[in-house]
Amino acid sequence: MPHPKHRISKQRRDKRRTHYKSEAPVTSVDTLSGDSHLRHRAHWQEDKLIYRGKVLVDKSGS
């Protein structure tokens, strides 16, 4: 296996890695409530866990 002849400094390594940028997460708008949420994730709204327009968990007391 090849090995580097000299150790690469942290500064040099980090300069190379700066080209990778983070992107803003993609959000969708819920058709029932109009709230925005992360895509392909369940989200809470008024004590209800909603995913794809269906209520999964209802914590509204009754």
Residue by residue, pLDDT tens for the chain (62 residues) are: 788 888 989 998 888 877 777 788 889 888 777 888 999 999 998 899 988 888 899 998 76
The model's pTM is: 0.53
pLDDT at 18: 74
pLDDT at 62: 62
Helix, strand, coil shares of the chain, percent, nearest 5, are 15, 30, 60
CA atoms within 13 A on the CB side of 39: 5
pLDDT at 24: 83
